[in-house]
Amino acid sequence: MNGHASTLLSRIEDTSATVGIVGLGYVGLPLAIAFAERGFPVLGFDIDDAKIDAIARGESYIKHLDGGRLAGVVREGRLTATSDFLRLGEPDAILVCVPTPLTPQREPDMSFVEKTARQIKPCLRQGQLIVLESTTYPGTTDELIRGILEESGLRSGEDFFLAFSPEREDPGNPDYGTTTIPKVIGGVDAASGDLAEALYSRAIARTVRVSSARAAEATKLVENIFRAVNIALVNELKVVYDAMGVDVWEVLDAAETKPFGFMRFNPGPGWGGHCIPLDPFYLAWKAREYGQPTKFIELAGEVNVEMPHWVVEKLQLALNDREKAVKGSRVLILGVAYKRDIDDPRESPAFELMSRLMALGAEVSYHDPHIPSLPRMRSWPDLPVLESLPLSPEIVAAHDAVLLVTDHRTVDYDLVANHAQLIVDTRGVYREARPNIVKA
């Protein structure tokens, strides 16, 4: 290691290194708390002043995150936050946790990552470590980020250090959290990898070193593409078995009893979250640069993208059987989070279902115990502002159909079944046949 690396390593080892976190959302805030709890001074950065103010008060804006942990590190002065990006020169290590969405053409939208790199560049100083955590295509760190930062005149691996370590958050998972999920780390060069590994090993129970930033970027894509492909498989089987009059959830329950050679995935109304709907398209886009087809991956994407259309068609047919049209019907969406028991709506299929139903003339409302107000979403900017309705017998009965999208455990499904005129169940919540329940 050169002198800059040795100095930074010493500061990491005695926990005097200041850790900067750019992006204080579902990934960045838990990470900030984890480092602060290990004794590091942490400086968070975000463009949302409401988040900065909440952190200053020690109040968590992420429901599944223990607010007491945040309050503790704020009270002890180990975690502060700012919207002043001119302070990016202060941290010794900067961990970048910003969104990497898709463009309307389903190509990587690197604007948030690129903007962050350009904000770091004028503040970049010798001896800093920059780590990208945002899911992306192989080559982002050593091509895009490195290129922007080296415009400063400083050299990666000599003056500053650069690595990639993908976030692996699973909101709502009771068994694994930020500090207990193994952390994959890949440096653009050996010294950068060594420093990143040293830093993360202070806060994370286990680190997994790979040979390069590209290998780390590819690892995250593999993990999520694996899920995307298997979700597409069971979604396709759901459609096929539905045509045959076979209950796919009953089949999966039986298949799951096999003690080897089978891993269960569940079908649903589409895909959601900040990774699964995006990552296959990132790899497919990058693969075209190398002339490599990704037919299997793209086919999985097509299947999952089409699921909301199939669900709406099932709802249309069910209403038609009851001599009703979608136009003018009142439809209650049950659950808008992308997965059960969390307050994260990112890329939830609920929004696409709402959009399609409204385009057909339906009057759409929703109930979600974790999301009191429908947030504005980049991919569906025209959806109206809605508030979650209380789940009462009167409200359920007043709707022509209840579309069950997210199976939160706190919902009273017996109440819904006993008072709904029609339930379209996309999650297999209702296993016994009832005249007012249609599975989709």
Residues acting as catalytic residues: 275
Residues 391, 417: contact at Cβ < 8 Å? no
- C-alpha–C-alpha distance, residues 408 and 429, integer Å: 10
Cα angle: 208, vertex 210, 212; to 5 degrees? 145
| CA 111 vs CA 20, 45, 98, 159: distances in Å | 20, 17, 10, 25
With residue 389 as reference, give the H or E element that holds it. Answer: none
Q: Which residues have CB under 8 Å from 243's CB, separation 6+?
A: none
Closest CA to 65 of 30, 92, 91: 30
Residues 31, 24: contact at Cβ < 8 Å? no
- C-alpha–C-alpha distance, residues 166 and 362, integer Å: 41
- C-alpha–C-alpha distance, residues 75 and 77, integer Å: 5
Strand partners, 45: 22, 82
- C-alpha–C-alpha distance, residues 198 and 417, integer Å: 54
- C-alpha–C-alpha distance, residues 35 and 79, integer Å: 9
In this structure, what are the phi and psi dihedrals at residue 312, rounded to the nearest 5 degrees?
-65, -40
127: number of Cβ within 10 Å: 20
In this structure, what are the phi and psi dihedrals at residue 19, rounded to the nearest 5 degrees?
-100, 120
With residue 331 as reference, give the H or E element that holds it. Answer: strand 330-334
